[in-house]
Structure 1
Amino acid sequence: MAGVLNSNENPMENQPLTPLIDVGANLNSPVQFLSYLWQFLFLGGLVGAIYLMNRYWFIRRFLAEHGVLAFLMVSICCLVIVTPLFSYLGLLIPLNQHEFTLIPSADHNPFEITNYHFMAIVLAISTPVILAFERQQQQLNLSKIESSKRLTELKLLQQQINPHFLFNTLNNLYALTLAKSEKSPDMVMQLSNLLRYTVYEGQNDTVKVEQEVEYLKDFIALQKIRLSDETLLSVQWPFENQDSKSDSQSVIPPLLLINIVENAFKYAGKGASNKSIINIKLSCDNKKLVLFCENTFDLTNTNTNTNTNTNTNTNTNTNTNTNTNTNTNTSINANVACENIAKSNGAENTGVGLENLERRLSLLYPKGHTLKSEQKYNLWQTTLTIELDKLNATIESNLDRDVV
């Protein structure tokens, strides 16, 4: 508009103007152009002030805190008071010193009804626009808060795995130490390797699937040390051949699979053949990871645990008093100690591992996982399926930025 006015001689007296911009005229009189420009900016600032008052005062202070009635009342008061005030301010600029003015009424009367109409239109148009932006901003803030909350919870769940695993492993190590087993040094070394992964890699947001598989292999190697000859263990790993290694570089949150494997060893009992059976199968192909764990369990274990422990303690005390079968007594005493510790810990924490896993999966793969556990005769089967490419986009983006 400043360019249009500067392209016409006496623009306020020669109305209406031709909406053309004469570049030559504007270049020849830059001072006049700048004079018109600041006056239009001043008028635009008055309209902008109406918008800002509506957004930060009327809507945020009155509509949000006191409701629609308060918003309408303050808007009407503004319409009555601010309209003539802003119209008067608009009349002070040099362009409005002529008969024709640039305020909505086009005259010198700040109380003219047209000025009120213009103010009402500005409020009516800006209000829904402001409300739409406010709602969008509110939803964005809530989304950030929820994302931060989920990420914090996820970090806490991940940190809980460390002591949960450590307690169970130390119980086994304690039993072997009491029995003065030759396997104790090997178990300490295996435990050291596992803890190294847990402490360093376990704190990362994601690791390669191949790394997680190696961790499970080390864990099972540690468990093998304490397994008896009556336990039949079968394990099948992915990436055994070159064709299946394409998914080995896919990523997965660390320590996500250990709970299922750990429970297979923890609760494995003797089946009908008087043998404990543990079958573990892990596959990873086409961005889909499937972990299947199967173990036998003793159906009568619940009813006989108390009697078994009592009899074992009695036998142990008797044998100790008579100083016979020292090696057997030590082994029995170690097993009893391990069972008692596991029982005392398990009474309160039995479900911690799986509850932790289920919650982590719901946060990390809300639409990309299935976890199924079922009993078939004296076999307990657990199947976990994860679609690796469906890691929660919100969580993943925050993990990448290390936002906690």
Structure 2
Amino acid sequence: MDFEDSPEEASYRGHVKAWLAEHAPRHEVPEDRALTENDFMEFARTWQASKAAAGFVGIMWPTTVGGQGGTPIQHIIFHQEEEQYRLPTVPFQVGVGMCLPTLFTHGAAEVAQRYVPPAVRGEEIWCQLFSEPAAGSDLAAVRTRAIRDGEAWVVNGQKIWTSYAHAADFGIVLVRTDPSVPKHKGLTMFYLDMRSPGIEVRPIKTLLGDAEFNEVFFTDVRIPDSQRLGEIGEGWKVSLTTLMFERLAVGGRPAQSPDLRSLLQLSRSLSGGDAIRDSSVAETLARFYVADEGMALTRLRSTTAVSRGQVPGPEASIGKLVMAKTLQDMCGYALEMLEDGGLSDAEDSPARMFKFWYLWSAGLRIAGGTDEVLRNVIAERVLGLPAEDRPDRNTPFNQLKA
């Protein structure tokens, strides 16, 4: 594993650092006031446009589809440095990170020419319509049905946990087109206009009071066959492209979330600075330090693989699994140290930040793969343990019990 950038990587990192230092601060989300959703989206669109103009969006995409023709390691370097600022990147993570690569990999050239540029500039937002009430961790179990009707498909069903569906202009959707074959073989992928007749988006209010996630209902929604991505029945293979890019789009510690430095600062501020001298506090902080270092080194392992032209392996699941749990545990411990002060909602109270991320991190343990699924991936594909028995794998989907 390489801990240092190559000369070329160091040069690129220096270029990125200099550009961010000049442009990022004025696009940061303010800490001293809450933004309305419209204001936040304006911040996000402006930052996205600024990055695009400077050539920092689609860094590793081919130039033929609107990318920069760079390397995966350059993509990683930029996002490592971008994470140092309080920037509004979330609304475009799914669309630019996962939907657009799927679109230009499996769609026609004219499709990429139409949809990639405006999304790169932040003018259009995309969402990913995958999860369903009965198909979350088991994505191949989707029940949203598409039936062929001439040159179009009629879609009926429901998706859930769709980030930014309420703000999205377009989306990619995985549907079942043939229930008479095993579940992985009867799926097809499409892209669609989120304003199509028959689409209803219902926001899901979270514990934090926001509504970033949504339910999406399809009632006789017509999607032209020309908007199909890949062959009929090959939707699972197409979705693997999306999930492969997801490894690079999500999985790291969220920007601005508390880290070990936050806990150290808090412990030094309590009991006149004596809290950090308590042996039990020191022991707990040491455990968090080990977890943080382990995550950092695991990410470096994946980064090293990318820098050598390899694809990040299943070990990337380790970082995501540990990161989400560690973040939640750290925030919970901070609230314990604050005792009664942990109940405060005052703007200047440290409890406000730790409570926010304690609740938010609970969702992280589900999004992008639940803890249970990630443990299976690590057990089977990293440690080489025997795979779980999957008796439904070769059974026609319409013969499976609901």
- Same fold, judged at TM 0.5 (above): no
TM-score normalised to structure 1 length: 0.25
Which structure shows the bigger proportion of residues in helix conformation?
A: 1
Q: Structure 2 length normalisation: TM-score?
A: 0.25
